[in-house]
Amino acid sequence: MRDILLNAARETIATELQEAASLPDRLNDDFVQACMMVHGCVGKVIVSGIGKSGHIGRKIAATLASTGTPAFYVHPAEALHGDLGMISAGDVVILISYSGHAAEFVRIIPLLKALPVGIIAFTGNANSPLAQAADRWINIHVEKEACPLGLAPTSSAVNTLIMGDAMAIALMRARNFSEQDYARTHPAGSLGARLLCLVGDIMRTGEKIPRVNVDATITDALFELTRTGLGLVAVTGEDGALNGVFTDGDLRRWLLKGGVIAAPVKEAMSTPGFTLLASQHAAEALALFQQRKISSAPVLGEDGMIIGAINAHDIREAGI
């Protein structure tokens, strides 16, 4: 049984890879013009397919949408029962059917042409009604399905997905779609947190900021260290400007050289001390912490006044 399973799996992968290997040679002017249709679309991009083509179509629509080309999926049967109203003049419709004979598309295509909309066909049959009716044809033909019966869409489904990805990424490049753009469509993910989250979004503010006046003693700073547990205390002047930073490390170094805790904190603090700006990305702040082997810092506004404090734990808690 083990050998049967492994051999079948290897044959499947080999067949699908062999069929996919022919796809680069099919990237012709039709592909370029199809991409230009989508790139220049002033309306919406709608993807549709039924059966396995529908499942692949949903993924293509999702990939387009997340890489800078707003798109959504419409089920062809639902389109015939009202969802056709989602499609309007100026849209571009991507219709997926390996045979090119899907009955739903035969009924839908005349209605689409009457609007009119641009039609891109993903099909393996150049002589099919779908390919003939479309403005542009994306060739997903396969010589052999990986299914031993030649029935289940396997190689053809892979070819469709690859060509859909090829279109999405080509358009992504054409739009100069950046990491920041990608993060805006994935704000809940780790990438979104890394690229969008600023220090000012997650820093501690108000009473949670550990601080003492420049005339305070090390004892006063110790109480503030204990109260906030941040590992540092901001030492500020009467105007609120930062004079220095007193950390756990500063305390250890002070005591090791024989200093007393009744001494003024300004004698033991680090000057000017490491600080962050509220406008910096939190991921950058975390990288700086790791580089400097520290775990926390005061946060300054654009005017140089202290407005918050943050540590590495706060950043990691934000999903970065």
Domain boundaries, the chain: 2-177, 199-317
49: three-class secondary structure by DSSP: strand
Geometric angle at alpha carbon 97, from 19 and 55, rounded to 5°: 85
Report the pLDDT value the prediction gives residue 186, as an integer from 0 to 100: 57
For residue 73, what are the β-bridge partners?
47
Q: How far apart are CA 96 and CA 137, in angstroms?
A: 10
How far is the C-alpha of 280 from the C-alpha of 278, rounded, in Å?
6
- CATH code at 199-317: 3.10.580.10
In angstroms, the first-to-last Cα distance of the chain is 45
- The answer to whether domain 2-177 has CATH 3.30.565.10 is no
Query: Does the pTM of the predicted model rise above 0.85?
Result: no
3-state secondary structure of 105: helix
Handedness of CA 30, 23, 53, 41 (dihedral sign): negative
Q: What is the pLDDT of residue 187?
A: 56
Closest CA to 86 of 70, 69, 67, 73: 73
Q: By CB neighbour count within 10 A (0-12 exposed, 13-18 middle, 19+ buried), where does 6 fall?
A: exposed
Cis peptide bond upstream of 272, omega within 30 = yes
Q: What is the pLDDT of residues 135-166, one digit of tens each?
A: 999 999 999 999 999 889 999 999 999 999 99
pLDDT score, position 53: 95
Q: What is the pLDDT of residue 250?
A: 86
The whole-number pLDDT of residue 177 equals 80
Asked if 41 and 33 touch (Cβ cutoff 8 Å), the reply is no
Please tell me the distance from the alpha carbon of residue 100 to that of residue 112, in angstroms, as a whole number. 16
Q: How far, in Å, CA of 279 to CA of 300, rounded?
A: 9
> Which pLDDT belongs to residue 93?
97
Measured CA to CA, the distance from residue 102 to residue 6 in angstroms comes to 35
Write out pLDDT tens, residues 201-212: 899 999 899 999
pLDDT (0 to 100) of residue 120? 98
Cross-strand bridge partners of residue 45: 71, 92
Which parts are annotated binding residues for Zn(2+)?
75
Cβ neighbours around 110 below 10 Å, total: 9
Percent of the chain with pLDDT over 90: 62
| Residue ranges at the known binding site | 75
Rg (CA), the chain: 31
Which residue numbers in the chain have pLDDT < 70? 179-195
